[in-house]
Structure 1
Amino acid sequence: MKTFEFAYGQGKKTFSLEEERIIKEVRTEPFDPIKDLKAAIHDVLYHPVALPSIDQIVRPGQKVAFICNDLTRVANSFEFMPILLDEMNKLGVKDEDMHILFSLGTHRAMTHEEMIRAVGENVASRVRMYNSISTQTEDFRYFGTTSRGTPVWINKHICDVDHVILTGSIVHHYFSGYGGGRKAILPGCAAMETVRVNHSFMLQPEAAIGRMDGNPCYEDQVEGVKLFAKGRSLFLFNAVLNAHHQILKVFAGDVFKAHREACKFVDKVYGCEIPELADIVVASCGGYPKDINVYQMQKTMDNAVCAVKQDGAVILFAECVEGSGSQVLEETCKRLGSPDAIRAELEKNFQIGANKAFAVTRLMKKAKFYLVSSLDRKMAREMLFEGAFDTFEEALAAAEVKIGRNGKVILMPEGSLTVPRLEEK
């Protein structure tokens, strides 16, 4: 037997497995973290991708808006934001002429305390901070409609400034290809209707993890951001982190071109070859905040499915201290009761929240999911999981009733980050 320790909420869960059953332990590639973050940031600001040096873009007395991730996406904004503000000061931009807009997308508003935690006390004490709340329609301005029919409504707090600096981190995204880049604005700082129409394209098969070209969600987001960007100065600053929340590399420059460069590195860090698919995948989301609720947990589900056989099982460590994360997600699963029924309703009337029900349950057509979680047991069943359990041993026993004993196992301790793919023979 071999013992493993997987992240769970703010702590760890320990379990043991027969070593001969394990095909592979899937992990991120062990790149060294940045040792001198200030120097690395200075380098990319003054040697950006496809844009002039930052000192040729930003002028004294100008106004700058930063877009920052909310707490559901780990970006380490508290590490890089003080450095970015100090650099703006050196370029002649005063603290009172800068502010931060948190890109919530359709997530809940952050409290002031959460904002401080996200960017650090130094930054929070220096600049104004706002939430982009998608349902507050008076906060959004219209910039036209994309060729796919998405009305582009963008938050006013990034409209009346000289420069918008998009910050955040990049990981694979289950239907937009990759996070980061343009997503800071759309869906991050977009109105609910903008997000709703854009996300409706996730029903198309081309909307896939790790895909940009031909992906309708990604291409629609790019087109929407370009409509907003006409006559505006946008500058990207994105970080790539490892599973320990350490910054491995930073990228800056043109919103689209710098993002594509960063995505090549993301594939190297998070992509992982496996020799075969497993009967059982055991995965952790990576702990808080990635397992804060089912809404966030779903990203790990998508990655785990890449490593499991048809009709196999996934055992997922996910505390879900905030439950489902969406009443609409809960209600849709409970009311419709099957992946096919959920998809059929979305095709007729696509709604945010209900789309997450599709994202979660469509994966159940390939594998059965067993949660090691604090999620309410009745809720877990109503959301079409095989069940929620206190321990790995209970979850494994339940899984083996359905798929048989002694199946081969792939372990994914960094499940929200790693994207397994079969080795080419």
Structure 2
Amino acid sequence: MQVTFPYPGFEPLEVPAGNFLGVFAPRETAPVDEDEVIGNGFQHFIDTGPLVDICRRAKKGATGGRVKVTVVIDDNTRPTPVKKILPYLFRHLAKAGIGLEDITLLVGLGTHRRLSPAELIAKVGPDIYGRVKVVQHDYRDEGNLVHLGCTAKGTPVIVNRLAVESDLLLALGSIVPHRVAGFSGGGKMIQPGISSAATTGQTHWLSARVKGEKILGQVENEVRQEIDAVARLAGLDLIINSVLSPDGRVAGLVIGDLVAAHRQGAMLSRRIYGVNIPEQADIVITDSYPADIEMWQAAKGIYSGNLALKPGGIIILVTPCPEGVAVQHPQIEQFGYGSLAEVEALVARGEIEDLTVAAHLVHVGEVIKEKGTGILVSQGINKETAARIGFIPAASPRVALDMALAMKGKDASIIVLRHGGDILPLVGEE
């Protein structure tokens, strides 16, 4: 069986037929009219009432009758078609007398790097960029963060000042399976999207104490509930969440309450990205598409691959990572991936203070250090760096598979996952 990869420069791979359990990918959806799907979404508001009514209520409490609207959008690490959806949103806001001059687009970077002007234009569209104010969140800029108290579980709610000072707070993102939150989208646009390091550290460190299979693809989980609690306290009024087909088309759009609408979208996402596999394999070969920019994102291939991996197995991650390991988080290269116990010790000694980084080290470490072994094939991460962070480096997919078979034996079972950044392998489910 010949396996190809969605990146230039990675040679096809021949997988021995006798070992092969199959190639698995998210379900292809029937072709749809995206304009119809988006337009239909803006006609059905889930547990909130129409947007125009929400705007009118906001106007009653606004200074001088002018409603300040903040729309949180995601960044270039997410495929949300923001530029396709914003015109529909702006038309609905206009019906309530809210013009472009009243709107600020707040890029929910979380702890990611800033976007370049070209990346911002690609995200919001050339017809919008320059006509609407765009601000990029900086989780380290304490002067632009506001403390709103704590959740019932004690997570400090510290978020971008723009969100707090707006009369109407909206969030535009997308929903796919996610290791920290179960699924992306919903309140996650606020936490971590526009939150402080302290807030994000608490929710991510909480997720590190729960094994990946107990969170990834689970619509309800304790971390998601905490994220939603943060978003409620931040005053998130409405979410606009797309669910994309594997080829990037809008398969669904849910708009409404941050919990009720999100859960509907998450169930649709699970139907698309959840894929039944016959059993776990000794060797899992996966890409990280579309999360390819750096290891901080590409690790999603490890998280999904974990669900398909037998204990003691080997996961081969094939990913370009043109920006290396993590531009914003050099401590990953300093400490490398490790077990929960190892990283907890580093935190206890004060060697790692950033709990978001600590959580990431555990999320990957539980797969390639505790459960099994990781082999990395990447053009953007050299072999010395790959080894330092905890992977066995390989020059090509062929070399990686030869290594894995030498370690596990020629009869080892093999599964290949495509669209590894979003796929949700399910064993024994339909």
TM-score clears 0.5: yes
**Residues 129 and 356 of structure 1: is their aligned pair in 2 closer, same or farther, counting only changes over 3 Å?**
same
Measure how far apart 1:398 and its partner are.
1.4
- How many residue pairs match? The answer is 413
RMSD across aligned positions (CA): 2.1
The Cα offsets for residues 303-333 of structure 1, whole Å up to 9 and x where unpaired, read as 0011111111111111111111121111121
Partner Cα distance (1:98, 1:33) in 2: 33
- In the TM superposition, residue 203 of structure 1 has moved relative to its aligned partner by 2.9
SS at match of 1:55: helix
Confirm or deny that 1:118 pairs with 2:116. no
The answer on whether the counterparts of 1:338 and 1:384 sit within 8 Å (CA) in structure 2 is no
| Alignment match, 1:185 | 190
TM-score (norm 1): 0.91
User: Residues 273-312 of structure 1: matches in 2 within 5 Å?
Assistant: 273-287=276-290, 290-312=291-313
**1:344 equivalent in alignment to 2:351:** no
Rounded Cα–Cα distance in structure 1 between residues aligned with 2:110 and 2:349:
23
Write the distance in 2 (CA, Å) between the matches of 1:257 and 1:11.
Answer: 43
Opposite residue 204 of structure 2, the aligned amino acid is H
Q: Work out the CA distance in 2 between the residues paired with 1:346 and 1:274.
A: 37
The equivalent position to 1:152 in structure 2, one of 150, 157, 172, is: 157
Match of 2:359?
355
What corresponds to 2:48 in structure 1?
51
Deviation at 1:268, TM superposition (A): 0.6
**Alpha-carbon separation, structure 2, partners of 1:292 and 1:168:** 19
Deviations 1:316-356 (A, max 9, x none): 1111111111211111218xx76642243346656232321
1:411 and 2:416 matched: yes
Task: Give unpaired runs (5+ residues) of structure 1.
Answer: none
1:31-180 map, 5 Å: 31-37=29-35, 39-59=36-56, 61-180=66-185
Alignment of 1:171-250 (within 5 A): 171-205=176-210, 208-213=215-220, 215-229=221-235, 234-250=237-253
Partners in 2 of 1:190 and 1:395 — Cα distance? 39
Counterpart of 2:266 in structure 1 is 263
Query: How many angstroms apart in 2 are the aligned matches of 1:323 and 1:43?
Result: 40
Q: Taking structure 1 as reference, are residues 101 and 156 closer, same or farther at Cα in structure 2, changes over 3 Å only? A: same
Counterpart contact for 1:45–1:253, Cα < 8 Å: no
Cα separation, 2, equivalents of 1:424 and 1:347: 40
Equivalent-residue separation in structure 2 for 1:148 and 1:398 (angstroms): 46
Any gaps of 5 or more consecutive residues in structure 2?
A: 60-65
Among the aligned pairs, what percent are the same residue? 25
Distance 1:242 1:260 in 2: 18
Q: CA deviation at 1:33?
A: 4.4
- Offset, 1:371: 1.5
Is 1:272 the counterpart of 2:271? The answer is no
Mapped contact 1:142–1:151 kept (Cα < 8 A):
yes
- Match in the other structure for 1:313: 314
SS in 2 for 1:223: helix
Post-superposition shift, 1:380? 0.4
Tell me the CA shift for residue 49 of structure 1: 0.7
Q: Distance in 2 between matches of 1:90 and 1:286?
A: 39
What CA distance in whole angstroms lies between the structure 2 residues aligned with 1:81 and 1:371? 38
Q: Give runs of ≥4 in structure 1 deviating > 3 Å.
A: 10-13, 337-340, 346-350
Cα deviation per residue 1:131-163 (whole Å; 9 max; x = unaligned)?
A: 111000011111111122211111012222221
CA, structure 1 residues 23+224, in 2 after alignment: closer, same or farther (shift >3 Å)?
A: same
User: Quick check: 1:104–1:131 contact (8 Å CA) kept in 2?
Assistant: yes
Other structure's SS at 2:173 match:
strand
> In the alignment, what sits opposite 1:323?
324
Q: Shift of residue 13 of structure 1?
A: 4.4
Mapped partners of 1:173, 1:424: distance in 2: 19
C-alpha offsets along residues 195-227 of structure 1, whole Å, 9 cap, x if unaligned? 1122221232276212354x3322221222222
Query: Would the aligned equivalents of 2:150 and 2:156 in 1 still touch at CA under 8 Å?
Result: yes
C-alpha contact (below 8 Å) 2:107/2:135 kept by paired residues: yes
Q: Distance in 2 between matches of 1:13 and 1:35?
A: 35
The worse-fitting range, judged by mean Cα deviation, of 311-320 and 20-29 is 20-29
Cα pair 2:109 2:136 within 8 Å, conserved: yes
Tell me which amino acid in the other structure corresponds to 1:371: L
**8 Å contact 1:99–1:128 — kept in the other structure?**
yes
- SS at 2:323 equivalent: coil
SS class of match (1:123): coil
Counterpart Cα distance in 2 of 1:122 and 1:384: 45
| Residue 180 of structure 1: how far off its partner (Å) | 0.2
Q: 1:252 to 1:347 in 2, by over 3 A?
A: farther
Structure 1 Cα separation of the partners of residues 336 and 317 of structure 2: 19
State the alpha-carbon separation in 1 of the partners of residues 169 and 13 from structure 2: 47
Letter in 1 for 2:287: S
Residue 423 of structure 1 corresponds to 428
**Are positions 1:383 and 2:389 aligned together?**
yes
Deviation at 1:424, TM superposition (A): 5.4
- Other structure's SS at 1:353 match: helix
**CA offsets per residue over residues 379-400 of structure 1, 9 Å max, x none?**
100111122x231111111112
- Distance of 2:301 and 2:148 partners within structure 1: 34
Residue from 390, 394, 406 that aligns with 1:401: 406
